[in-house]
Each structure stands twice: as structure tokens, then as C-alpha cells.
Amino acid sequence: MKWIAATLLVVLLLLLPSFAGDFYINLASQILIAAIFALSLNLLVGYGGMTSLGHASYLGVAAYISALLTSRYGFGHGPAAVISIAGTTATAAFFGVIALRATGLGFLMITLALSQVLWGLAYRMSNVTNGDNGIAGLTRPMPFGISLDSAASFYWFALAVASFAYLMMAIFVSSSFGSSLKGVRDQPRRMAALGFNPWMIRWITFIYAGFWGGISGLLYVYYNKYIHPTSLSTTSSAEALLGVIAGGSGTLGGPVVGAALVLLLKNYASAYIERWNMLLGLVFLFIVLAMPTGILPGLSRLATGLRRGPR
Amino acid sequence: MTPLMSNYALEVINLKKAFGGLSVTQDVSLAIRPGERRLIIGPNGAGKTTLFNQISGDMRPNSGQIKLFGTDVTQFAPYTRAHFGLSRTYQIITLFSGDTLEHNVTLGLLGLRPSRWQMWRPLSFYGDLATEAHRVLDAVGLLHLAEHPVSDIAYGEKRRVELAMALAQKPRVLLLDEPLAGLSNTERSTVKSLIASIPRESTVIMIEHDMDTALDLAETVTLLNYGRVIVDGDRDAVIADERTREVYLGV
């Protein structure tokens, strides 16, 4: 049963461009990008117990580095991608050292402050970042000579990257290291007594999450061919965090569902209601009240409840 | 420089710890030989658990030294001490309640193995870890519950999981903080024989209030009161000592 559903999903995802229009294909691409971003944030929030409100930093840093290198300094997309991911990972390593001096609320505030610094820089250093105008006129890469300019080709590209990202993060959380991480989340003192170094485990996870945040940032800038300081803003971080929590933090599918929900609401609701943010808020309020652990865990509990029948 | 050989598994030298104006460890010194069975007794608030917390590294002393097999570990983090062969259990059960018994013990095994850093390979691929975890659970008589989450099992069984996690590490020095606390008579004798069967490669230091059971397991006894060592020595000598009766037995 589970396998049939999974196979159907894969076929559906692969064949989406053959039956959907460009609008929906593009929407699907955006969901895939947001899903990678949410999955990477979930490593911190769900599996590490480190609630970050500054994860957009890594999306933004990767996007800005790639945009600047390709548009201003004449780099090819290959080297630009490598440098931007390396730069993003290094940023995460540096920010991690600062943020992991604290846990809980302190950690959240530091990540928020650090991301605000980057957002401020993107806004104010207009001679480099072009400030509020953003950087426009970017191009998409051509891996193996294949153009990604059509909606369908970009979608398949994003699907390939997102599938790989999902697989890698699934392995990560089921690995020994993933067990160490969950252990440190639940009982840091015990874990230290057992021989685990809690700080190092958290830091490595922070860097790894930054790395995948950077990957989603690259896709983001390829897709939009444009980058603006808003991508680095707290709103951007908070939206992803809401998606993770709404979908179900600490599960693999939850962040994907949550990211899709946020994007769908954004795209549909904004067409009908001017204050779509308010609707987003109400929907989240409902989810948090009805399914406190998130949509996916909530639905699976509902399903087992139905299967057992009324008690 | 040749490594300093020591006759002692654990040495505590002039240890002092105060919380504000309250001295909880006042100039405590202990010397425990490899393989020794040491019981630490004292009334509530005597500073027994605080002493354990300093030995395990959960708390830093204000002054004094802690040595494991001759190495000064006073400044070492708890996880570094674990790699020196130190394990402990907790008075208040500290387990991973959502995870299975097998996973709890596996974490104990993983803590000392380099594979704890491995992030590209699922944990379930390590068959040897599962085998070893099952062996340890069998030793404490909980193999039949291996696949159950800790939250499902009884309190007395949780106490044995505490012990299993520490034993899985084959520690050179094992700190047991009230391993019999809250157990029924039957469970007491089960855990007692478990502790008695710990191999002599491990030095065992135990805090326990249940004197009837614990004294049988001990060779040497340290009596603490108000953060000081009152009497220290062979079991029978300490029990016979007048100060022990005064402070602890209340006779």
C-alpha cells in the first residue's frame, strides 16, 4: 500500500510537466526549492532542537554570491556555484560558533540578529548589492549544455536536486550522527556523559543545514533570475519556520508539506485577498490548535484512529 | 616522559565546591583502587550526588583535583572523561523515553565509537551494534523488551536500562547513583545480583541509601556529612565506627 502510493507520487512528479500548464509547473518548482530550504531548517529545528529565526541568511548568501559572481565578475555558473556554496557553508560555520554559545531562546535571538545584519548589509551596501533595486538580469546555468530556460526543464532540474537533497537528509537523520543529534536534543547531559560532544554535534548540524540552505538559495536565484534583500529578511526565515512547524517538525515529510502549503496559500490567496498574510496567520492558528505536532503527524494519527474505528 | 603510573583508579584530592555561601563539598579526598567496590553513604544533603557530578564533569569544582588512573581530568569535559573509561548512572532516571530499549543501549555503545560521527550511513546498517546491544539487554534481563519504547516499561525496568547503558560501555570506573532507589524487594535483589556480577575490570563507586542491600556489595565505605568525609575505610571498620552510628545510623 505504502509502496504503491510512493510509486504513484514519483510518477506524478516526473510527469507533471506533461499535463500541467506553465503556471503550475513553475509553482511546483518553487515548492521544490522551498522544500529543500524547509528540510534544511528542519535539521536544526526538528532534529536538533535548535529553533533558528535566521535561516534565510544561507539562502540569501548563496543567491547573492552566485548573482554577483556571474553578473558582475564574469564567472561561469559552475565555479560560481562552487564558490557560493563554499562561502555559504563557511558563513554557517562562523555564525554557528556565535549562535551556539546559547541554546533555546538565546540561540533564536542570535540567529535573528545575525540574519538582520546580513539583511542590513544587502540593503545598505548598494555599491555591491545594488541595494533595494536588487540584482536583475541574471541567467540560469546550462548543465551538460541543456538549457533550463523552459518551465519544464527547470522543473526537472529542481526535482533532481530536491530528490537528492531529500535522500541525503533522510540518510543524515537515520545515521549514527542523526541519532547522536536527536540524543543531544533530548538529553544533552546524558549524551555528554556517554562520550558525545554536544556542542560539536550541534555545530556540524548547523553547518550541514547551512550547506543545504545554500543549495536551495542557488536554485532560488536560478529560478527567479533576480535577487532582492527581502530574500534575506526575517519574514523569509519566519515563513520557512512556520512551514516546518505547520507541516510537522522532526519528520521528513512534514517540512515539504508545510513549504508547499505556504507557497500555495501565498499564490492563491494573494490573488483574491489583499491581506493574504492574515489568512496565512489564521490557517496556521488553526493548524497549531487542531494538530499541535503538525499536519503530517496529525494526519497519520487521524488515519490510525480511523482504522481502529470509534472507541 | 613516561606516563605516570598510578595505584589508583580514581583519586579525588582536596575537592571543594560551594554554591554561593553554601559549601557542598568541603575538602573531600578519596583514593579508590582498580576493581574496588566503594559505597558512599551519608544523610540527604551530604553532598554525595554533587561529588559524583564533579567526578563525571557535570560540575566544575572550585578547587582541588580529580585523577583517573593518574591523569588529571579536572579540566576535562564530561565526554572526554567518558573516553577515559568513566561511566555513570543517574539518581533521577535520564533515558531517551521515546526510543526503544535497544536504541538507548546503542547510544551507550555509540558514544565511545568513532562511528558516532558517521552521517552517510544509516545506523541500522551497523549489525554489530544491534548484536552487542541485545547482548547487554540480555545480561540485565530485558531482552524481551528490546523493541519497546522506554516510555512503555515499568519503573524498575527503567532502572535496569540505566544500568545497561553504563555497562554497555565496559567502563573502567563506574559511578552508580542510587541504583536501587524506588525498587520493590524483588527488583532490589535482581539489581543487586546484577551489580555483584559486574566484572572486576570495572571499579564500582555507588551511592545508596538501602544499607541492607548495598553493604553486601561494598568492600569499602565512605561516610559523608555536610560535604566532608567523616569516616573512610574498610566496610566493617566504618560500620563499627562510632561516628557512623552518630551521623547516619542514628543509634
Q: In what order do the strands lie in the sheet with B173-177?
A: B86-88, B173-177, B203-207, B37-41, B220-225, B228-234
User: Into how many domains does chain B fold?
Assistant: 1
Nearest-Cα residue of chain B relative to residue A198: B79
Q: Please indicate, yes or no, if residue B124 is contained in any of the structural domains.
A: no
Residue A306 main-chain phi, psi, to 5 deg:
-70, -40
Is A177's Cβ below 8 Å from some Cβ in B? yes
- Four-residue CA torsion sign, A202, A207, A212, A218: positive
Is A192's Cβ below 8 Å from some Cβ in B? yes
From chain A, the residues in CB contact with B107 under 8 A are: 179-180, 183, 191, 194
DSSP A233: S
The pLDDT tens digits of the residues spanning A115-126 come to: 999 999 999 988
From chain A, the residues in CB contact with B103 under 8 A are: 179
Is A167's Cβ below 8 Å from some Cβ in B? no
Euclidean distance between CA atoms A293 and A244, whole angstroms: 10
- Bridge partners (DSSP) of residue B177 are B207
Q: Report the interhelical angle of A151-174 vs A22-42 (nearest 10°).
A: 20
Min Cα separation B73/chain A (Å): 14
Nearest-Cα residue of chain B relative to residue A197: B79
Q: Please indicate, yes or no, if residue B132 is contained in any of the structural domains.
A: no
Length of chain B: 251
Is A164's Cβ below 8 Å from some Cβ in B? no
Euclidean distance between CA atoms B138 and A194, whole angstroms: 20
Write out B114-137 in H/E/C secondary structure: HHHHCCCCEHHHCHHHHHHHHHHH
pTM: 0.92
Of B53, B41, B48, residue with least CA distance to B86: B53
From chain B, the residues in CB contact with A171 under 8 A are: 119-122
Euclidean distance between CA atoms A284 and A279, whole angstroms: 9
Task: Report how many Cβ contacts below 8 Å link chain A to chain B.
Answer: 97
Euclidean distance between CA atoms A301 and A240, whole angstroms: 24
**Is-contact B214 B183, C-beta < 8 A?**
no
The pLDDT tens digits of the residues spanning B187-219 come to: 999 999 999 999 999 999 999 988 888 889 999
DSSP B97: T
pLDDT band (50, 70, 90) for residue B63: very high
- In this model, does residue A216 exceed pLDDT 60? yes
From chain B, the residues in CB contact with A198 under 8 A are: 79
Please judge whether A193 and B79 are an interchain contact, meaning their C-beta atoms are less than 8 angstroms apart. yes
Which set of grid coordinates corresponds to residue A156?
526537472
Higher pLDDT, A81 or B248: A81
Please judge whether B111 and A195 are an interchain contact, meaning their C-beta atoms are less than 8 angstroms apart. yes
Euclidean distance between CA atoms B166 and B180, whole angstroms: 15
Residue A135 main-chain phi, psi, to 5 deg:
-110, 120
Please judge whether B119 and A208 are an interchain contact, meaning their C-beta atoms are less than 8 angstroms apart. yes
Say which range, A94-98, B124-128, B135-139, has the weakest mean pLDDT: B124-128
DSSP letters along A148-191, please? --SHHHHHHHHHHHHHHHHHHHHHHHHBHHHHHHHHHHH-HHHH
CATH value at residue B18: 3.40.50.300
Give the contacts of B208 (CB within 8 A, at least 6 positions apart): B39, B40, B41, B176, B178, B179, B180, B214
Q: Please indicate, yes or no, if residue B169 is contained in any of the structural domains.
A: no
Q: Cβ–Cβ contacts within 10 Å for residue A92, how many?
A: 26
- In this model, does residue A245 exceed pLDDT 90? yes
Q: Please indicate, yes or no, if residue B155 is contained in any of the structural domains.
A: no
Rounded average pLDDT over B140-150: 95
Show the domain range for B249: 1-85+174-179+205-251
Of A248, A179, A237, residue with least CA distance to A210: A237
Q: Please indicate, yes or no, if residue B111 is contained in any of the structural domains.
A: no
Give whole-number Cα distances, B86 to A186, A249, B79, B195, in Å.
22, 35, 9, 16
Is B78's Cβ below 8 Å from some Cβ in A? yes
Min Cα separation B110/chain A (Å): 8
Is B110's Cβ below 8 Å from some Cβ in A? yes
Please judge whether B116 and A176 are an interchain contact, meaning their C-beta atoms are less than 8 angstroms apart. yes
Residue B87 main-chain phi, psi, to 5 deg:
-130, 160
The pLDDT tens digits of the residues spanning A137-193 come to: 898 888 888 888 899 999 999 999 999 999 999 999 999 999 999 999 999 999 999
From chain A, the residues in CB contact with B98 under 8 A are: 186
